[in-house]
Amino acid sequence: MSIRVHVRIVPRSGLLDPQGQAIEHALSALGFSGVGDVRVGKAIELSIDADTPEAAKSSAREMCQRLLANPVTEDFLIETDGT
């Protein structure tokens, strides 16, 4: 079956995220107070043919390690529909 997989990629904690900082400043300028630690990553959605959600996740994990995320600078989270 085809399983919808959601991959979230975020800059590794501790690394400077200039985009996140710029957004934080912009939010503050718009009057949103009390907003902190803004981090900008990416969301990648894909459909994977697999027998189980676990198999789809395992496949997505390998994709993250080899292409979707850079292990030097990014962490990733994988979720599937209905899990």
Partner 1 sequence: MTRVAVIRFPGSNCEAETLAAVKRAGGEGVLVDYRDTVLDRVDAAILPGGFAYGDYLRSGAIARFAPVMQAVKELADRGGAVIGVCNGFQVLCEAHMLPGALQRNAQQRFASRPVDVRIERADTVCTADYRPGEVIRIPVAHGEGRYVADPETLAVLESEHRVMLRYVAVDGSDQAYNPNGSMNDIAGICNAAGNVLGFMPHPERLADSALGSDAGQRFFTSLIRSVQTAVAA
Under the binding rule (CB under 8 A), the answer on residue 22 touching partner 1 is yes
The residue (of 28 and 83) whose beta carbon lies closer to partner 1 is 28
Under the binding rule (CB under 8 A), the answer on residue 28 touching partner 1 is no
Under the binding rule (CB under 8 A), the answer on residue 26 touching partner 1 is no
How many residues make contact with partner 1 (CB under 8 A)? 11
CB hemisphere CA count around 68 (13 angstroms): 22
The residue (of 12 and 55) whose beta carbon lies closer to partner 1 is 12
Binding span for partner 1 by CB under 8 A among 31-39, 52-60, 62-70, 75-83: 62-70
